[in-house]
Amino acid sequence: MTYQAVPFGRASASGTSFLMASTWLLLLSIFHAFPAMDIAISSFFFSGALCGGGVGCGSFAFGRYESIKLLRWALYGLPYIAAVAIVIGVIAGSLSKSIAAKMPVRRLWLSLATLGLSTGLIVNLLLKSHSGRPRPIQTNFFGGHMDFMAAGSFFGQCTSNCSFVSGEASGAGWLLCLIILLPPKARLWFGPPVAIASVATAVLRVVVGAHYISDAVLGFLMPIVVFSGLIALEQRFLTSAR
């Protein structure tokens, strides 16, 4: 049985790509203009008074629970497991035409390219390395020694592996891109648990004080923006090649 790709016309693919990129930029603008949202949501998970001077204050209590740590590490490995499975599938497809006919080989390649471009290059190598934004637990509001910086501000005191944006949330968002690559019946069964696991990964980064909500949301959406852009390029190339 030949694999049937989820239909994306050139116009719909371009429109989706534009919508996702615009949404990402709009959210960044909102988080940057109203930084109190980040502080308020992180404060919700911070037990005790905000620190101010760094003494006599509370902490992110959920970060101390072993069950939360185990759940975080279990969810953390899902994108890597999925990536390995895709690589195996692509290799198998290159060796067998019958296997290739049952898989969306081109879009599997696009998904791997998305992971490399979004989570690898944009998030981890560029944004996290150069944004300078301290994590919540590093800021003086929550017991750290650095000043709070709004999302999109590149003048913070963090020097490496910074808070903007969340790498784990980005990997979790990438998992959502894979749902449309599944056959319809598999999509029905695996789509909801994958979506729940993806959202849970991003939420946990906020709950334990590792990221602000803006870091989690923008990191989560980044691979979706890139994937939709690659799908749009795919459709443009296919249309021009006809």
pLDDT in tens, 128-166: 999 999 999 999 889 889 999 999 999 999 999 999 999
In a domain? residue 5: no
- Say whether pLDDT at 58 is over 90: no
What CATH number is associated with residue 37?
Answer: 1.20.144
In a domain? residue 4: no
User: Given this model, what pLDDT does residue 235 score?
Assistant: 84
User: Given this model, what pLDDT does residue 55 score?
Assistant: 56
Range 65-75 average pLDDT: 93
Residue 82 in contact with residue 190, Cβ under 8 Å? no
In a domain? residue 236: yes
- Number of independent structural domains in the chain: 1
The boundaries of the domain holding residue 104 are 10-45+57-241
Question: For the chain, how are helix, strand and coil distributed in percent, rounded to 5?
Answer: 70, 0, 30
Can you list the pairs that 28-37 forms with residues at least 24 positions away whose Cβ atoms lie under 8 Å? Answer: 28/151, 28/152, 28/214, 28/218, 29/152, 31/150, 31/151, 31/152, 31/213, 31/214, 31/217, 31/218, 32/150, 32/151, 32/152, 32/153, 35/148, 35/150, 35/151, 37/213, 37/214
The confidence band for 23, taking pLDDT boundaries of 50, 70 and 90, is very high
Predicted confidence (pLDDT) per residue in 78-104, tens digit? 999 999 999 999 999 888 888 888 888
In a domain? residue 51: no
User: Given this model, what pLDDT does residue 173 score?
Assistant: 97
In a domain? residue 113: yes
User: Given this model, what pLDDT does residue 10 score?
Assistant: 55
Range 118-125 average pLDDT: 96
In a domain? residue 72: yes
In a domain? residue 52: no
